[in-house]
Structure 1
């Protein structure tokens, strides 16, 4: 039975790219498939990125018969087998939002994916790039990979394209940061719709309305996802939050109390590191904010 990768899911149809000897046959046409009813009975749903077994039907379409085990699965956006999460945040228009960036990072850490932070629209920087450099150095010290790009000048685009080869990456971030514009630059001929920034609201129009894998060559695929500006913590337990802050993890092992919340306990190594300037105040403030938000949600639900 033939096998393939789901590259798009839309209105109950799954668009499958055939595999040949374990590699996606990029020159072959995509097969339009339905999924067998057994998936609904089992409570499972095929996702973009799934490695599937399918069969061809008499009408020239196909039927998804089987899903291979997933290496990873994201709930939002719904993508399977992603190896790298690319978080795009703009220098300006909209302004840099470190609170939202840290919230994205919590979710990505919880999912177990590798992360690449891409700072876009560097050409709009008004302070000789000092704010961008501060953000880049802050997150590199924590251990994240950070790139700076400009879709206007093309700076960083080729470096980013090379980084995205061999595997599935997911693009995510605040609306209006230039995801579609950047993808248009690194994938010639793609021609994704791009949206103007609302200066009154400070955010962009959502231009991507479904998840789709795009071939960038050399075995690399990118999932461009619907823009969104809010995330919730319903799938994450409050006791797991501190483990999603990378710089907290090695310190927490030496806290006086097991299960330390890093908020008020004595001999807390995280608080000590904060006071010594080894942890950024913004990161700790966001941790406290998220902790409170999660506690409030738990009480409501």
Structure 2
């Protein structure tokens, strides 16, 4: 039986990319019975009489899956944040970083709209970029409008499944259009009344860009730290995780424990205070979360 990858899901149909091109498939009834939903990114076994009459027979084991947006087997997340309009937010970025790190997905930070910043703002953004690179992240400063830094992203896409994510209005569709102009994805301006953009993407689809597959998604509809436990949070901050090996107590939560290497690093300016403040806020949010039964 042929094998392929689901690259689009729309109106109950799954579009599978295989050796013979793209085949339109339906899921087997047993999937619904067993409450299994095929996802974009799934590697599947299928059978097809023609290009529009196929059936997915088996879904291969997933290495990860996201619920919102619904996609599986993601290698990395391109987190798109604008320097301005809307303003860059380290609190929101750290929340996105925690969510993707928890799902074992490599994050790449793209700060867009660099053509719109003044000298003071540019200096501030460069400082943030330096600090996040020091924490172990790849950070790209780009302008989709002026094609600045776009070429730097292509090597990161090579042979990977990437998901593009970020709040609305930051320029995700503009970035994809800059990477592959023939897409001609619809973009929306920021609403001056609401101060935010509208999501222009309605379904998840993998697009071939360079030698990789990139998912344009409707965005993360939930940024709640639902499945993360207090002891998980440390590993979602890679700069903390490295230092925690030097903490006096194993399983140190870096709050009130003595001889904590992370708190010492914050005091010495090796970890930005805002990163630690966000860590404490997220930890408290997790602890305050109502238990699920």
Q: What TM-score range do you get, normalising by the shorter chain?
A: over 0.9
Question: What residue in structure 2 maps to residue 272 of structure 1?
Answer: 264
Unaligned runs of 5+ in 1: none
Q: Report the CA distance shift for 1:246/1:156 in structure 2 as closer, same or farther (over 3 A).
A: same
Aligned to 2:197: 204
Alignment of 1:117-128 (within 5 A): 117-127=109-119
Cα deviation for residue 188 of structure 1 reads 2.3
In structure 2, the CA distance between the partners of 1:36 and 1:299, relative to structure 1 (3 Å rule), is closer
Aligned: 1:214 with 2:207: yes
Instruction: Please tell me whether the aligned partners of residues 7 and 207 of structure 2 are also in contact (alpha carbons under 8 angstroms).
Output: yes
Confirm or deny that 1:37 pairs with 2:29.
Answer: yes
Give the SS at the match of 1:9.
strand
For residue 190 of structure 1, the aligned residue among 163, 183, 192 is: 183
8 Å CA contact retained: 2:69, 2:220: no
Which deviations, in whole Å up to 9, do the C-alpha atoms of 1:200-245 show, x marking residues without a partner? 3221111011110001132x11001113475001111122111111
Is 1:17 aligned with 2:20? no
1:156 paired to 2:149: yes
User: Which digits, 9 at most, give the CA deviation of each residue in 1:88-132, with x for residues without a partner?
Assistant: 100001100111100111111111122211110001112351122
In structure 2, distance between residues paired with 1:163 and 1:231? 25
| C-alpha separation in 2, matches of 1:64 and 1:72 | 20
Structure-2-length-normalised TM-score: 0.94
* 8 Å contact from structure 2 (residues 111, 142) kept in 1: yes
Q: 2:68 aligns with which of 68, 71, 76?
A: 76
State the secondary structure of the residue aligned to 2:161.
Answer: strand
What are the within-5 Å matches in structure 2 for residues 258-297 of structure 1? 258-297=250-289
Distance in 1 (alpha carbons) for counterparts of 2:83 and 2:100: 21
CA distance in 1, matches of 2:145, 2:249: 51
| Cα distance in 2 between the residues matched to 1:121 and 1:59 | 41
Gaps of 5+ in 2: none
1:110 aligns with 2:102: yes
Report the counterpart of residue 77 of structure 2 in structure 1.
85
- Partner of 2:137 in structure 1? 144
- How many Å apart are 1:87 and its aligned residue? 0.5
Structure 2 distance, partners of 1:296, 1:78, is: 27
Q: Distance in 2 between matches of 1:167 and 1:267?
A: 41
After superposing the two structures, state which structure 1 stretch, 47-56 or 75-84, moved more.
75-84
Name which of structure 1's ranges 253-262 and 208-217 shifts more when overlaid on structure 2: 253-262
Stretch moving more, 135-144 or 68-77: 68-77
3-state DSSP class of the match of 1:189?
A: helix
Structure-2 separation of matches of 1:295 and 1:59: 51
Q: 1:233 aligns with which of 216, 225, 228?
A: 225
* Cα distance, 1:298 vs structure 2: 3.4
State whether residues 86 and 171 of structure 1, in contact with CA within 8 Å, keep that contact through their aligned partners in structure 2.
yes
Q: Conserved in 1, the CA contact under 8 Å of 2:23 and 2:51?
A: no
User: Is this contact kept in 2: 1:89–1:177, CA < 8 A?
Assistant: yes
* Runs of at least 4 residues off by over 4 Å: none
- Report deviation, 1:145: 0.6
Question: Which residue does 1:7 correspond to in 2?
Answer: 7
Select which of 18, 36, 56 maps to 2:48: 56
Query: Who is 2:234 aligned against?
Result: 242
